[in-house]
Structure 1
Amino acid sequence: MSVGLLWTTPLWFLSIPLLPIIAAFHTSLQHETIHGHPTRWPLVNEALVSLPLAVVFPYRRYKDLHLKHHRDEHLTDPFEDPESYFWDAKSVAQMTDFKQLLLSINNTLVGRLAIGPALTIIGFGRTEFERLKDDELGVRRAWFLHLLGLFAVVFFVQGLFGMSLIYYGLFVVYPAISLTSLRAYAEHQAAEAVGARTAIVEAHPLWAFLYLNNNLHIVHHASPHTPWYDLPPLYHERRTQYLTANENTLFDGYSDIAKRFAFQVKQTVAHPILHNDQPELLLAPSKDNRHS
């Protein structure tokens, strides 16, 4: 709140970089609560972080989708993993050339940061609308609670800080989702071995803190209930085993990822391994999630 109040002072310009960072950090805190921290009571954890600073994603929808993502045997599967960026080959073949190009750009790091949030917001909204129409269990309640939280965000942003909601959306929400997309960009890849589908990023401490050590992603997937502050010692203790398990899928910080994939497609839009004998995909594989 104090950073938001900077907007009303001569130091207003300091809030421009700080507010998106805070909103992105808040998503990291939400991720921690989903996995049972800091208390053993889910409703208490939810109450601590459910205010939707990043606006777009209801906490309970994030929780449901993310826990489904933790079924490691289905990682990157466009039919089963709600955080997969892959599509099945049949759907890709039916896309227009423009859509294929757009999704390919989204598979570069620059594209993911620039247009990835927009694609995710549009796709998430579309699939959630379908779920609301179908009255899927828990979805309406999640959105109702989310709307209550949005009223509080509007009060703080517009009423207390005097900030335009359009500004907040374009210069706080959008870059916050971009920051989260940076973490998620290289976390997973298509691979035959389950362990090789999850990467490690040995990030600078500031980045690691922003993401609450979720950059050590294979450690998190191997021990999802381990709190964020125990992930680094666990990683250093078992580093060789983790690197063996994920076939040395290791990045030397986010600058390493940028050097490799800033303008280079990381992997194809169509899943490169899965067979194409699965049923028609009903929901766009990577559009109903927040990729965390």
Structure 2
Amino acid sequence: MPNYLDEAHRAEVGKLTMTLASQTEWPTWLLLVGFYMAWAGIIFYGQALGEVFTLVLLIPLVVLWLSIQHELIHGHPTRWPAVNKALGFLPFAVWYPYDIYRDTHLAHHDDAMLTVPGHDPESRYVTRAAWSQSPGYVRALLWVNKTVGGRLLMGAPFAVISLLSSEVRSLFSPGRSAGRMWVVHVLSVVMVLSWVERYSAISAVQYLFLVSLPALSISMIRSFYEHRPSALPEHRTVINESSGPLSWLFLNLNLHLVHHDLPGLPWFYLPRVYWARRSQWIARNNGYVIHGYFQLLHRHLVNPVDCPRHPASH
């Protein structure tokens, strides 16, 4: 347990790990079963729902799936990574193979390297060298991507293009053996889209572009200003005090500092741990607090949240 927590707080967190919910992970199991039942119901009985309702229900459900996969990567609901992968590898969100998401996200949890381009796989910043060498239109797009509106419109396509381009290059790199992973992923995507095409009220193309991409865009609201450059690693991770529908879809990951400091803590205990010692958490990240996603939208719909160029990189 982190040594910066005071003794009382450490004892409280320790007690939570011994509860029935923590020992059995029944809330996460319930969430998994509920997701599979909801997705199957919408797809296989979608003709009764119609096209519009199918789309409206599937988008938040796929956002939730991305959050569920995140929990699986962090060792929930079982201690066995292979079992968690089996529970969550199906590509309902289409684009990201489970293995890539797992490996890049766990690498992202090296807090000493948070936000540093070239070291943090989830960094939203570029180096000074990359910035100086980029043409004007690329800089303009990077600035736009630093607004909420720009992230919603461009973030998902950019992420998919970046993923595919980097993977195509790496497939031909010496020592790289990702071919099998991609074969399994593509076959799984074909299977999921075949179910959609055959049984649901929407087509596979609609699922790709009217469900999966919008869901990825919504999930990027959470990561939009999740981290910032700072000299101290603990000052780099946000606390967003949202308590609305988005915080539920994100499984409380808006309380992101708590998650980074206690990555093994299940999603359903993050709010309890945060609110029990709110002032201490805020002091720890030097007041890096956002009071809900509406505040973020209001301030940064069209105004960049910060500079795309990392201040400490070369």
In the superposition, the TM-score normalised over structure 1's length comes to: 0.90
1:183 and 2:222 aligned: yes
* Cα distance between partner residues in 2 of 1:59 and 1:168: 19
1:64 aligned partner:
103
* Cα distance between partner residues in 2 of 1:236 and 1:242: 9
1:14 counterpart (53, 56, 75): 53
1:266 and 2:296 aligned: no
Offset at 1:6? Answer: 5.1
Q: In 2 relative to 1, CA 214–138 (structure 1 residues): closer, same or farther, beyond 3 Å? A: farther
2:257 aligned partner:
218
2:272 aligned partner:
233
* Cα distance between partner residues in 1 of 2:66 and 2:101: 10
The 8 Å contact of residues 63 and 218 in structure 2, kept in 1 or not, is answered as: yes
The 8 Å contact of residues 6 and 15 in structure 1, kept in 2 or not, is answered as: no
The 8 Å contact of residues 49 and 201 in structure 2, kept in 1 or not, is answered as: no
1:128 and 2:143 aligned: no
Deviates more, 1:18-27 or 1:199-208: 199-208
1:200 counterpart (232, 235, 239): 239
* Cα distance between partner residues in 2 of 1:175 and 1:32: 21
Question: Equivalences for 1:1-292 in 2 at 5 Å?
Answer: 1-5=40-44, 7-9=46-48, 11-134=50-173, 136-137=175-176, 139-161=178-200, 163-272=202-311, 274-276=312-314
* Cα distance between partner residues in 2 of 1:171 and 1:41: 34
* Cα distance between partner residues in 1 of 2:265 and 2:183: 31
Offset at 1:118? Answer: 0.8
Offset at 1:10? Answer: 5.1
1:180-201 superposed Cα distances (whole Å, 9 cap, x missing partner): 1011101111111111110011
Offset at 1:137? Answer: 4.6
Q: In 2 relative to 1, CA 101–207 (structure 1 residues): closer, same or farther, beyond 3 Å? A: same
Q: In 2 relative to 1, CA 53–244 (structure 1 residues): closer, same or farther, beyond 3 Å? A: same
The 8 Å contact of residues 200 and 217 in structure 1, kept in 2 or not, is answered as: yes
Offset at 1:162? Answer: 5.3
Structure 1: tracts of 5 or more residues without a match: 277-292
After superposition, the CA RMSD in angstroms is 1.4
Offset at 1:18? Answer: 1.3
Kindly indicate which of the two structures has a greater share of residues assigned to helix.
2
Relative contact order higher in (CA < 8 Å, ≥ 6 apart): 1
Deviates more, 1:147-156 or 1:18-27: 147-156
* Cα distance between partner residues in 2 of 1:111 and 1:80: 25
Offset at 1:124? Answer: 1.0
Equivalent AA in structure 2 for residue 219 of structure 1: V
Q: In 2 relative to 1, CA 236–138 (structure 1 residues): closer, same or farther, beyond 3 Å? A: farther
* Number of residue-to-residue matches in the alignment: 275
Q: Percent identity?
A: 34
The 8 Å contact of residues 104 and 268 in structure 1, kept in 2 or not, is answered as: yes
Q: Which has the larger radius of gyration?
A: 2
The 8 Å contact of residues 90 and 188 in structure 2, kept in 1 or not, is answered as: yes
Offset at 1:101? Answer: 0.4
Q: In 2 relative to 1, CA 185–264 (structure 1 residues): closer, same or farther, beyond 3 Å? A: same
Q: In 2 relative to 1, CA 68–10 (structure 1 residues): closer, same or farther, beyond 3 Å? A: closer
The 8 Å contact of residues 7 and 13 in structure 1, kept in 2 or not, is answered as: no
The 8 Å contact of residues 54 and 202 in structure 2, kept in 1 or not, is answered as: no
Q: In 2 relative to 1, CA 254–268 (structure 1 residues): closer, same or farther, beyond 3 Å? A: same
The 8 Å contact of residues 196 and 245 in structure 1, kept in 2 or not, is answered as: yes
